[in-house]
């Protein structure tokens, strides 16, 4: 199956800071999603983004399919952004190990 590598593994931010999370894939994927797992364990769909750029409020994502990576941008971070961010690809969703984000007030 496809291998998914996420970086960084951990990120500590001061409220209001911006950050970029990266996801690399071992092979091309035509199905890519970003999720946020909140502290209660719920998985929330952030983006379905097999290619191109999308924005949703303070979050945006870019996938460069030909180079097998995707980026998630968090701007003006808030404490509610804390949690684990996962990217996953392929129709059976191979998951990365996640980036744990902690936003401090």
Partner 1 sequence: NAGVTQTPKFRVLKTGQSMTLLCAQDMNHEYMYWYRQDPGMGLRLIHYSVGEGTTAKGEVPDGYNVSRLKKQNFLLGLESAAPSQTSVYFCASSFRRDSSYEQYFGPGTRLTVT
Nearer to partner 1, 10 or 67 (CB): 10
CA distance 5 to 82: 20
Measure the CA–CA gap between 85 and 7, rounded to whole angstroms.
Answer: 10
Contacting partner 1 (CB under 8 A), which of 17, 22, 24, 50?
Answer: 50
Q: Which is nearer to partner 1, 14 or 56 (CB)?
A: 56
List of E strands, 30-98: 32-37, 43-48, 52-56, 59-64, 69-74, 83-89, 94-95
Q: Does 55 bind partner 1 (CB under 8 A)?
A: no
For partner 1, the closer CB: 17 or 65: 65
Residues that bind partner 1 (CB under 8 A): 1, 4, 30-31, 33, 35, 41-43, 45, 48, 50, 86, 88, 91-98
């Amino acid at each position: 199956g496809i291998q998914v590598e996420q970086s960084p593994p951990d990120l500590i931010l001061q409220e209001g800071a911006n950050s970029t999370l990266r996801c690399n894939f071992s092979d091309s994927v035509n199905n890519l999603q970003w999720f946020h797992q909140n502290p209660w364990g719920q998985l929330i769909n952030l983006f379905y983004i097999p290619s191109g750029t999308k924005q949703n409020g303070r979050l945006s994502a870019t996938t460069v399919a030909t180079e097998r990576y995707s980026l998630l941008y968090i701007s003006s971070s808030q404490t509610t952004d804390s949690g684990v961010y996962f990217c996953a690809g392929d129709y059976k969703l191979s998951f990365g190990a996640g980036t744990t984000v902690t936003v401090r007030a």
